[in-house]
Amino acid sequence: MRAEKGSEFMTDRTRGALIAIVATAALVLAGCGSNDHDHDHPMDQGGPAAASTTPPPPPLPAPFTDVDQDDAEAVLVAAAESLFSYRPAEQSSQVDAAAATRPLLDDRFFAANEAGFGVLAPITGAMWERWRSQGAAVTATAQVTSDAHPADQPARISRVLAVTVTAHAPDGTELDRMQWPVYMSATKLGVWRVSAVAVR
C-alpha cells in the first residue's frame, strides 16, 4: 500500500515536471520559429512622434530670400546694404529705400521712424537730384566691425557696421564714394529684425 502511494506521489511529480518541460520547449520553439518582425516594439517603428518644433518663419521676399533670419548679424548687414542703396531715378528719397527694407525691420521701429529715414544718411537733396539727372545707381556694402558694442542679450544685439556707398553712372563710371559707421541693433521676434539705426 505504501509503495503504491509512493508510486502515485512520484507519478504526480513526474507529470508536473513533464508539463513544465513541454511548456518550456514550446516557448523555445516558438522563439526559434519567429522572424525578426515578431520582436518589433512600437518604439522600434520610429518611436513616438517627433518632438514638436517651432515652424520655420515665412520666407522673405526678394531681394532678401537668401538672408538667414536666424543670424542677427546677417540681418543687420542685409538691412544696412538695403537702407543705403538707392535708385534716385525711381525713388523720391531715402524714405523709399527704407520702405524697400521694411521686411527686415521691426514694424514698430519702422512706424515710429518712417519720416526720419528721409535724413538717415548725410545725403543732401542736391546730391539726390544730381544722381537722378545722371541716371546713377547707388549701392551700399556693409560689414560688421570689431568696434565695442553693448553686451549681447538673448533677444537683442547691437553692432557697429562700416558702410560704403558708391554711385555709378550708367556706363559704370564712379561718381561718388562715401563711407560712414552705422550703429544698429536687432531684436529677436521669433526671427531677428532691425530695431535701431543711427549714422555717426
CA distances from 94 to 8, 50, 109, 121 (A): 109, 47, 16, 8
Q: What is the pLDDT of residues 138-149, one digit of tens each?
A: 999 999 999 999
Domain boundaries of the chain, sorted by first residue: 72-143+156-199
Contact present, 184 and 194 (Cβ < 8 Å): yes
Q: Which regions of 51-155 does DSSP assign to beta strands (E)?
A: 137-144
The per-residue pLDDT for range 59-105, each reduced to its tens digit, is 899 999 999 999 999 999 999 999 999 999 999 999 999 999 999 99
Question: Number of helices (H) and strands (E), helices first, in the chain?
Answer: 5, 4
Question: pLDDT band at 56, cuts 50/70/90?
Answer: confident
Q: Could you give the percent of the chain with pLDDT greater than 90?
A: 68
Cell 521669433 locates to 190
Q: Which of 29, 136, 145 is nearest to 80 (CA)?
A: 145
pLDDT band for position 54 (cuts 50, 70, 90):
low
Question: How much of the chain, in percent, has pLDDT values that exceed 70?
Answer: 72
Residue 30 has pLDDT above 80, yes or no: no
Residue 96 buriedness (CB in 10 A; 0-12 / 13-18 / 19+) = middle
Contacts of 199 (CB under 8 A, 6+ apart): 120, 121, 122, 180, 181, 182, 183
Long-range contacts formed by 115-119: CB under 8 A, 24+ apart: 117/83, 118/93, 118/94, 119/94
152 contact partners, CB below 8 Å, separation of at least 6: none
Locate cell 530670400: which residue?
A: 65
**What CATH number has the domain spanning 72-143+156-199?**
3.10.450
Supply the pTM of this predicted model. Answer: 0.72
